[in-house]
Amino acid sequence: MSRRRLSVSAYAGAALLLVFFATAAFGPLLAPYSPTAHDLDHILEGPSSLHWLGTDQNGVDLLSAMLYGARVALFISVTVVLSSALIGVLVGVVSGYLRGWVDEVIMRIVDVLLAFPGILLNIAVVAAVARPGVATLVLALVVNGWVGYARVARGQALSLRELDYVQAARAVGASPWRIMLRHILPNLMSPVLVQMTFGFGTVILIEASLSFLGLGPQLAYTWGALLDQGTTFVWHTQRVVFVPGLAIMVVVLGSNLLGDGLRDRFDPKRVQ
């Protein structure tokens, strides 16, 4: 069987995410203005040589706000995805390998969290704080973000624990923790990586939704906050809504395209 390659759409998704990462990393260094610099003489102006994307309702340069907002979105997404994956994978591996009452307790907790609407739980956690910041939002998203990774890791661990090399390690006296860390964990990272790729776009979308509702970080230049501002003047100009909305769509699309490509690449049942 020939080695499977990533599809064209996966490379397209990777390119979109690469542009987003570069924008978030270097954009604030290239931003022409501060994202909090108000210019009341240039409110809701269209694109010009001074403001390439125009200005918002406070005269803030929209391009600068978008560039700074990209860094906030990247930080939140990467932190949430890595934290959720770390917790979920460790919990799932322990649950799937040890089984018994440990598996029952962990899976019932997972079932409860999955049964509760995720966005409502996120809102409840954020609303409990008077002025939620980035740390609060990260915590709110991790509270139920790890359960998907736990289910994936548990399913893989249940399968891997029955393979010959794991049975051999158990026969020579290797401890359960050594087997989980040395033999189970490294061999289940492919589906976890796919899950993380999809999760990246999902976190971007949820963060924008919470910011749109006024429950995100108290920053006027997050993409969700810019969307919220734009809806007030949508009949006057659609630009303030269109620009952050398009940015969110592109990042989520890139995440989904890459995730689909990685899933096809790592699927052992897919023959090419």
What is the pLDDT confidence band of residue 272, given thresholds at 50, 70 and 90?
Answer: very low
DSSP 159-191: HHTTSHHHHHHHHTT--HHHHIIIIIGGGGHHH
**Which amino acid, 113?**
L
pLDDT, tens digit, for every residue of 133-151? Answer: 899 999 999 999 999 999 9
Show the tokens assigned to 152: 């994936």
pLDDT, tens digit, for every residue of 193-233? Answer: 999 999 999 999 999 999 998 888 888 889 999 999 888 87
pLDDT, tens digit, for every residue of 82-130? Answer: 999 999 999 999 999 998 899 999 999 999 998 888 888 999 999 888 7
Q: State the Cα–Cα distance between residues 259 and 271, nearest whole angstrom.
A: 18
- Residue 59's nearest CA partner among 81, 42, 78 is 42
Q: State the Cα–Cα distance between residues 104 and 111, nearest whole angstrom.
A: 10
Overall fold of domain 54-266? MetI-like fold (1.10.3720)
Q: Where are the domains of the chain?
A: 54-266
| pTM of the full structure | 0.91
